[in-house]
Amino acid sequence: MRVITTIKEMKEFIREKKQQQVSIGFVPTMGYLHDGHIQLIRSARAENDIVVISIFVNPLQFGPDEDFDIYPRDLERDKKIAASEGVDVIFHPSTEEMYPGKLSVKVIVQERVNVLCGESRPGHFDGVATVLTKLFNIVEPDRVYMGMKDAQQVAVVEGLVADFNFPLELIPVDTVREEDGLAKSSRNVHLSEKERQQAPYLYKSLLEAKKLLMEGERDEKRIISHMKQFIEENTDGNIDYIEIYSFPGLEKMDKLEGKIIIALAVKFSKARLIDNIVITLS
Ligand code: AMP
């Protein structure tokens, strides 16, 4: 496995591989790899000749009061995991390598962004779309693997790929969870012991909502207020949002039907956790 830190070397590697007509699977990450990332890597490994992952904590997608400085990083650990999963290349550029000066152009996301995390993290998805535009141009992947844990990111990137005609296929991968249901996340290390005990109630609240829907409940307000009460009774977290939209359009619905997403974000003392489920209603 190679670790490449410069764009020039990465492009040379890709040019050589393209000449050999091999397929390239790409998994963009911010590192501190866990089973969620590993699931994406395994999917990429199964479907491509070469697997490239990027490890880059992208400052552009963090707000001024967010956790960029304390975001967990451990390249040595990540290298061992990636090598054991058959990754061919880790692309690990510095911030200066990716952003040597002030950007003269950045990508602005206009749709699917005024809800959920887009609303509470202004500029976040512009940062994601900008770094992915750069990474797609550098890595030239045939297939890109992204987790449904960040379902809004999948919806936004679907738009980016379609609008900017990137010649790649975006492949969403189901959320990987701990045994107690908590969605795996690099940020879980920032939960206190007590918060870690409480955190599975986020997923449980989504299952509560699913149960209500399966029983025929279609009143969005009632479902959300049940979830809110459930989370407030079982955790000390502060609810940032609990919302229901169509998926992947992320539009408000007059009537709950078809493919919908129930998504939430809850702030604990040092970690803001997100989770969601996508359900198809008849
Ligand atoms: P991150 O390193 O948090 O930026 O995540 C990199 C990729 O891994 C994104 O596409 C995430 O959606 C995906 N991912 C993160 N956590 C999970 C999880 N628990 N299950 C599946 N995919 C995940």
Atom of ligand 1 nearest to the CA of 183: 19
- The CATH number assigned to the domain with range 2-173 reads 3.40.50.620
Does ligand 1 lie within 6 Å of residue 17's CB atom?
A: no
- How far, in Å, from the CA of 150 to the mean position of ligand 1? 7
| Residue 248: cis peptide before it, omega within 30 degrees of 0 | yes
Domain limits, the chain: 2-173, 186-275
The model's pLDDT over 114-163, given as tens digits with 9 standing for 90+, comes to 999 999 899 999 999 999 999 999 999 999 999 999 999 999 999 999 99
Q: Assign 3-class secondary structure to 122-174.
A: CCHHHHHHHHHHHHHHHHCCCEEEEEHHHHHHHHHHHHHHHHCCCCCEEEEEC
Residue 36 amino acid letter: G
The protein residue whose alpha carbon is closest to atom 22 in ligand 1 is 147
The protein residue whose alpha carbon is closest to atom 7 in ligand 1 is 29
Atom of ligand 1 nearest to the CA of 150: 12
The model's pLDDT over 37-82, given as tens digits with 9 standing for 90+, comes to 999 999 999 999 999 999 999 999 999 999 999 999 999 999 999 9
Q: Please, which residues have CB within 8 angstroms of residue 249's CB and are 6 or more apart in sequence?
A: 112, 155
The model's pLDDT over 246-274, given as tens digits with 9 standing for 90+, comes to 999 999 999 999 999 999 999 999 999 99
Cα–Cα distance, 92 to 112 (Å, whole number): 29
Catalytic positions are: 37
- How far, in Å, from the CA of 37 to the mean position of ligand 1? 6
Does ligand 1 lie within 6 Å of residue 176's CB atom?
A: yes
Does ligand 1 lie within 6 Å of residue 29's CB atom?
A: yes
Atom of ligand 1 nearest to the CA of 176: 20
Does ligand 1 lie within 6 Å of residue 39's CB atom?
A: yes
Average pLDDT on 4-20 reads: 98
Domain 186-275, CATH among 3.30.1300.10, 3.20.20.140, 3.90.1640.30, 1.10.287.990: 3.30.1300.10
Residue 55 amino acid letter: I
**Distance from the Cα of residue 42 to its chain's centroid:** 16
- How far, in Å, from the CA of 8 to the mean position of ligand 1? 27
pLDDT for res 282: 83
Atom of ligand 1 nearest to the CA of 30: 2
- How far, in Å, from the CA of 146 to the mean position of ligand 1? 7
Does ligand 1 lie within 6 Å of residue 130's CB atom?
A: no
